[in-house]
Amino acid sequence: MIVKGKKNFLQQFYVIEIARGLGITIKNLFFAPKVTIEYPEERRKYSERFRGMHYIKATNGVENCTACMLCPTVCPAECIHIEAAERPDKEKYPVRFDIDVLRCCFCGMCEEACPKDAIKLSTIYEMSCTSRPIYDKEFLLEQRGSK
């Protein structure tokens, strides 16, 4: 569809209009704030709800997880594998807590399901690596970034 705008006599010559257009671009060149984020030095600010890499929250050096198996149950990608055991004080704890992060779809259901606030998703999003890692408990316990 061709839309024909109304033009007055001077605008039909386009010369003045082109000059005005040039004025707009040069104004943008000098004065407009630039939107580029210079990546390694600056980072994009993500919201607090961002779902990035997992971590296991610990209290006094002991993980909050009680190996209740709610997160592997709810996980749609089936990427959490937990082996439970008992502590001497009869408390349940995970011997192994592996997350196959390549299968993870970062839906955050594990975080929602967890009654102990143990598994959480941080705001870390730089997860590219050269191998295909399965993150274990020691790796996940390290607090690299939290909300």
Partner 1 sequence: MTAFSLSVMVVKVIFVAVVLLTTVPIMAWVERRGSALIQNRLGPNRVGPLGLIQPLADVVKFLWKEDPVPAHVSKTYYVLAPLMALVPAFMTFAVIPFAGPIQIGERVITFQAADLNVGLLYIFSIASLGIYGIIMSGWSSNNKFSLLGSLRSSSQMISYEVSMGLSIIGIVMAFSSIDLGEIVSAQGQALSQIGGFTVPKWGIFIQPLGFVIFLTTLYAETNRLPFDLPEGESEIIAGYHLEYGSIKFAMFFMAEYMNMFTASGLLATLYFGGWQLLPGMGWLLGALPLTGMSHDWARVILEMTSFFLKVGFFMWLFVWVRWTLPRFRYDQLMDFGWKVLLPLSMANICVTTLIIYFGWV
Q: Which residues bind partner 1 (CB under 8 A)?
A: 15, 18, 21-22, 24-26, 28-30, 32-36, 38
Instruction: Please work out, in degrees rounded to the nearest 5, the angle formed at the alpha carbon of residue 8 by the alpha carbons of 2 and 13.
Output: 80
Closer to partner 1 at the Cβ: 21 or 115?
Answer: 21
Q: Closest approach of Cβ 65 to partner 1, in Å?
A: 44
The CA distance from 133 to 131, in Å, is: 6
Any residues with CB less than 8 A from the CB of 124 and at least 6 apart, and which? 52, 53, 144, 145
Query: How big is the chain, counted in residues?
Result: 147
Closer to partner 1 at the Cβ: 36 or 131?
Answer: 36
Q: Closest approach of Cβ 20 to partner 1, in Å?
A: 10
Closer to partner 1 at the Cβ: 36 or 47?
Answer: 36
Q: Closest approach of Cβ 134 to partner 1, in Å?
A: 36
Q: Closest approach of Cβ 21 to partner 1, in Å?
A: 5
Whether residue 136 contacts residue 96, with contact meaning beta carbons closer than 8 Å, is answered with yes
Closer to partner 1 at the Cβ: 13 or 46?
Answer: 13
Q: Which two tokens stand for residue 97?
A: 């807590």
